[in-house]
Amino acid sequence: METSIDRAWAKVVEMEEVNPALSGFSKTRPQFSQDEKGLVKATLQFNFNATPWGKSSVPAAADKSKPFCYLIVSVWRPNNLPGQPVYTQREYLIGTEKLEGFVIVSCSDDHLAKELRLIFESEMKKAESKTTSEQPGADQPATNPADKSSEGSTLNPHVEGRPPVAG
C-alpha cells in the first residue's frame, strides 16, 4: 500500500506546475507508520487556499480570487473500536491483511477533484489486486456495503464522492 500511495503522490506532483490549486503539493509527503505486522497507518493531507473541514461544512476557497484544493488520504489497520465511518471509506485486502481507508478531495475545479480521487483510488486498488490475484474473488474488491456513492447519487460538485450538502 505504501508504494501505491507514493506512486499516486508522484503522479500528482507532476501535475503541480499546470494546476494552480496544487501549489505546494510536492512539499507535502505521505506519512507511514508500521509495526512488526506491517502497515499500521498511512496519511497524506494537502491544503491549498482551503477553509478547514468541519462536521457541517466542506472546504471552500479562503481567498475567493484563487483556486483551492483540499485532499486527505488515510489508510489504517482496523482496531475494532467503535466509530462513525467516513462516507468514502472502504476496505482493502492486501494478501491476508485487511486495511480500511478513504480518499476525500474538495477542489474549486470539479475535473481536478475527480482526477485526484481517481489517481489515488486506482493506485490503492492496484496494491490490493497485486497481492490478492491468486485468491478466489480477487477481481471483486472488498468494499464498504454502506458506500452508496457509486449508485447514482447526486454529488456535491466540489467534493468528489460526497452527497449534496443541505442548504
Residue with cell 480521487: 117
pTM for the structure as a whole: 0.73
Per-residue pLDDT of the chain in tens (167 residues, 90 and over written 9): 899 999 999 999 999 999 999 999 999 999 999 999 889 999 999 999 998 877 767 888 999 999 999 999 999 998 877 777 777 788 888 878 899 999 999 999 999 999 999 999 999 998 887 654 444 444 444 444 444 343 333 334 444 444 444 44
| Parallel/antiparallel/unpaired status of strands 97-107 and 90-94 | antiparallel
Beta bridge partners of 91: 100
In a domain, 152, yes or no: no
Gap between the terminal Cα atoms of the chain: 38
Q: Which residue has the cell 456535491?
A: 156
Residues with Cβ < 8 Å from 87, sequence gap 6 or more? Answer: 102, 147, 149, 161, 162, 163
Domain enclosing residue 53, as ranges: 2-146
Assess if residue 158 is contained within a domain: no
In a domain, 43, yes or no: yes
Q: Is residue 71 part of a domain?
A: yes
Domain count, the chain: 1
Does residue 153 form part of some domain?
A: no
Any domain includes 167:
no
Determine, yes or no, domain membership for 165: no
pLDDT score at 108: 93
Q: CA-CA distances (angstroms) from residue 83 to 18, 43, 69, 86, 146?
A: 39, 18, 27, 9, 14
3-state helix, strand, coil in the chain (%, to 5): 30, 25, 45
Q: Answer whether residue 41 is part of any domain.
A: yes
